[in-house]
Chains A and B, each alone.
Chain A
Amino acid sequence: MSAIKLDKLPEKVILPLKQHDGIACAPLVKKGEEVVIGQKIGDCEGSDLAYVHSPYCGTVESVVEMPNPSGKRVLSVIINPLECADSVDFVPEKDASPSRLLEIIKEAGIVEYYQKPTYLALKPGERIDTLIMNATFPLIANAYLDSLDKVLEGFRLMLEAGGISRGAIVIRADDKESIKAFKNAKVDGKPLIVAPIIGKRHADYYFEDSEDEIIVLAGGKITYTPTMMNLLSGDVMGRKIPLGYKPADVHVAVCGVKSAKAVYDAVYEGKPYLENVITVSGAVNRPGSVLVKFGTPIKDVVEACGGYKGEPGKVIINGTRVGVAIYSDESPVAKDTTGIVVQTKDEVLRDVSSACIHCARCVDICPMNLLPGRIAVMADQGMYEKCGEYYALSCIECGDCAAVCPAKKHLVQLIRFSKLQLLEMCAETEPAEVTE
């Protein structure tokens, strides 16, 4: 199944100058200036950066603060796109050294699906022995199956750039299309190993038996969202990550399918990160995956999917459970956008939360073994240090607790709030050892 392409130019393109978790870029263009495809329009200095390039050619209408898909207002460059194909000269560099590869990835402004710039994800400072590619978004993974050899080559380049010896691609066990495609794919003329994760047979088990650099693992029926990095690395590698640690501490780095393709484009075609595939689901006439250039308003993406089915009640970015509903479909698609969900008016739940009845369903369901109800109560009362003691920062924001709560407590929002307050207070809680 290939991705739907936008056949119409949007009226205007909004390019936020901050599309990752880090420093905002400064605009390089002024009002009235002409831009071409691939031109760098946002530059920044520092250690945590992702440059912004224009995926369209046209004239800059203005540089103002506009709402971006996460709901916050961000300084954005607004471009009136034109029907032209002028672009900067893309210079491919096929035989680059690992350090040059990393430089190319940085220059291209590639950002992981969890908002971290890829060059930092590959070289976080700690020793990394395995790179995991999260291909557990079936719709997105399927959209890239046409260009699977490019994705695999991009993945190999990422391993080379990061100096990482092994790569594991994780797909969903029920994603038959992907499994079939990966079984037929070849790396260096050899077919890929596609194996399931069962019991204690984790990635290490399969790596021991083979000399391959890259293997494919079918991991179960979970889609690992951006906040579920620890769970993903824990499940795939079988290395339990104690509360308060990150995947890099167990020598694991995580990347997405989109960034692998983007790395291929950057190295073999010289293109910066200009477009990716997002999924559109819910109350639209033709749901599916769409190949979108960054900066395209969500309105135009929905139009390419046949428009809204009836009157939309809510448009949610990045998933129904943990995503944020946007208040205007003029918001653009950014580098960290993975999907759009449209709900009809009848589907929108408007529950009023009531008092906690201490049923502990949230405790039973929490995949990180936290006490969501307890943390939420303390966050509500402003006891943020106490939230930290209960490992609020380890919450992966999967939204399971809020989904099962019979009292309809806003658990995820409260925990997220406490996390933010904790980070603001720069409280560094001592990570405790978990004995398993």
Chain B
Amino acid sequence: MNDVLINSIAVLAGLGFAVGAMLVAASRIFKIDSNPLIDEVAELLPGANCGGCGFAGCAACAEAIVESGAPVNSCPVGGFETAKEIGALMGQEVSESEPEYPFVRCNGGKSCVTLYDYEGVDGCKAALMLCDSRKGCTYGCLGLGTCVRACKFDALSMGEDGFPHVNKNLCTSCGNCIAACPNEILTFAPDTQKVHVLCRSHDKGKQVKAVCENGCIGCKKCEKECPADAIKVTDFLAEIDQEKCTACGACAAVCPQGIIEVR
């Protein structure tokens, strides 16, 4: 009886040692050299795998930073803090950049004519595929919330006025919402840029007035008023050159449609 016990324990222990030794040998022989820096950088990244950097995930981003020379501030989510830490690891200096947030360039919403009720797959892209924009304006926000669903950080919410609202505390500037919008309503704008035109319509003034109360009619009043020569009306839409703009607010005061916003 004892013999049986001792024998079986000895065989199993021997087998364990033998297999263990083989594994150790195999891991020595077939060792793959990986850069330990990649793992360290990956650990510093937020780990949300949002894809905001343009790579397949945080691990891919870390690999790109270490091996293919992607900038250390590639991760928009981590922001300056993360960039500084990665920079320290990589031996690079990082200068602080202004945080940018998505910003809605449409002021139509309820004041824009709704042509029909849309029933079907949720999402602006699917709605646009089926038919023209349900709004009278082909350039404006449809308000079906594709951008809200694209946000992985719950930073966007659809407001009562039919527009997405950005919660800057939660926003990580990953850019998913901007990529999701089929009408290119959303864009990045740093907080230092104070004056914005809240319209995207290139339609003629008469057409705009027929469908929307809050649309740019291309009257050029702002262009004439601007002391810094920073505003230009091209193709019936005012555009602001942010580098020249002094945020004096003269354009907003004369805009008959009230679509120039000074923050």
User: Do B129 and A417 touch (CB < 8 A)?
Assistant: yes
Closest CB of chain B to A395's CB: distance in Å? 14
The stretch that binds A, out of B80-88, B114-122, B183-191, B230-238, is B114-122
- A71 and B119 contacting across the interface, CB-CB below 8 Å: no
Shortest Cβ distance from residue B201 to the other chain A in the assembled complex, whole angstroms: 13
Q: Pick the contact of B129: A73, A380, A416 (CB < 8 A).
A: A416
Evaluate contact between A413 and B130: CB separation under 8 angstroms. Answer: yes
A72 at interface by CB-CB < 8 Å: yes
Q: What residues of A have a CB within 8 angstroms of the CB of B138 in the complex?
A: 73
Interface residue? B126 (CB, 8 A):
yes
Q: Does A350 contact B (CB under 8 A)?
A: yes
Whether A327 touches B121, Cβ cut-off 8 Å, given contacts A71-B130, A71-B132, A72-B131, is no
B125 part of interface (Cβ distance < 8 Å): yes
Residue in B119, B126, B131 whose CB lies within 8 Å of A324: B131
Instruction: Please list the residues of chain B having a beta carbon within 8 angstroms of any beta carbon in chain A.
Output: 115-116, 119-121, 125-126, 129-132, 138
In the assembled complex, the Cα of A324 lies from the Cα of B116 at a distance in Å of 12
Please give, as numbers and ranges, the residues of chain A lying within 8 Å of B119 by CB-CB distance.
350
The docked-state distance in angstroms from the alpha carbon of A413 to that of B129 is: 9
Q: Specify which chain B residues have a CB less than 8 angstroms from the CB of A350 in the assembled complex.
A: 119
Say if the beta carbon of A420 comes within 8 Å of chain B: yes
| Chain A residues whose CB sits within 8 angstroms of the CB of B116 once the complex forms | 325, 327
| Main secondary structure on A side of the interface with B | mixed
Task: Give the Cβ gap from B123 to chain A, nearest Cβ, in Å.
Answer: 8
Inter-chain pairs besides A327-B116, A380-B121, A417-B121, 7 sampled, C-beta below 8 Å: A72-B131, A72-B132, A327-B115, A410-B120, A413-B121, A413-B126, A417-B126
Give the docked Cα–Cα distance between A413 and B121 (Å).
7
Q: How far is the CA of A120 from the CA of B119 in the complex (A)?
A: 36
A350 to B119, CA, bound (A): 8
Residue of B nearest to A409 (CB): B121
Known: A72-B132, A73-B138, A417-B129. A410 touches B121 (CB 8 A): yes
Which of A67, A325, A414 is close to B121, meaning CB atoms less than 8 Å apart? A414
Q: A328 at interface (Cβ–Cβ under 8 A)?
A: yes
Give 1 or 0 for each of A321-335: 1 = CB within 8 Å of chain B CB. 000110110000000
- Give Cα A147–Cα B83 distance, bound, in whole angstroms: 78
- The distance from the CB of B79 to the nearest CB of chain A, in whole angstroms, is 27
Q: How far is the CA of A410 from the CA of B119 in the complex (A)?
A: 9
The docked-state distance in angstroms from the alpha carbon of A327 to that of B115 is: 7
Do B132 and A417 touch across chains, with their CB atoms under 8 A apart? Answer: no
**In the bound complex, how far is the Cα of B120 from the Cα of A324, in angstroms?**
12
25 A/B residue pairs, CB under 8 Å, sorted by A: A67-B132, A71-B131, A71-B132, A72-B131, A72-B132, A324-B130, A324-B131, A325-B116, A327-B115, A327-B116, A328-B115, A350-B119, A380-B121, A410-B120, A410-B121, A413-B120, A413-B121, A413-B126, A414-B121, A414-B126, A416-B129, A416-B130, A417-B125, A417-B126, A417-B129
Residue-wise, chain A 220-261 has the 8 Å CB interface mask toward B (1 for contact) of 000000000000000000000000000000000000000000
Interface centre among B115, B116, B125, B130 (most CB of A within 10 A): B130
Closest 4 CB pairs of A and B: A71-B131, A327-B116, A327-B115, A417-B126
List the B residue with the shortest CB-CB distance to A419. B129
Least Cβ–Cβ distance between A37 and chain B, in angstroms: 30
CA distance A73 to B115 in the complex (A): 13
Cα separation A73 to B136 with both chains bound (whole Å): 11
Q: In the complex, what distance in Å separates the CA atom of A71 from the CA atom of B130? A: 7
Q: In the complex, what residues of A have CB within 8 A of residue B131's CB?
A: 71-72, 324, 327
In the bound complex, CA of A324 to CA of B127 (Å) = 12
What residues of B have a CB within 8 angstroms of the CB of A73 in the complex? 132, 138
Bound CA–CA A397/B4 (angstroms): 72
Flag A385-419 by CB within 8 Å of B: 1 or 0 each.
00000000000000000000000001001101100
Binary contact readout A38-73 vs B (1 if CB under 8 angstroms, 0 otherwise)? 000000000000000000000000000001000111
- List residues of chain B with CB within 8 A of the CB of A414: 121, 126
Residue of B nearest to A327 (CB): B116
Question: Residues of B contacting A413 with CB < 8 Å?
Answer: 120-121, 126, 130
Q: In whole Å, how far is B231's beta carbon from the nearest beta carbon of chain A? A: 28
CB distance from B118 to the nearest CB of A (A): 10
Bound Cα distance A228, B120 (Å): 23
Chain B residue numbers with a CB within 8 Å of A380 are: 121
Name the B residues within 8 Å of A410 (CB-CB). Answer: 120-121
Which residues of the other chain, A, contact B126 by a CB distance below 8 angstroms?
413-414, 417
B120: chain A residues at CB < 8 Å are: 410, 413
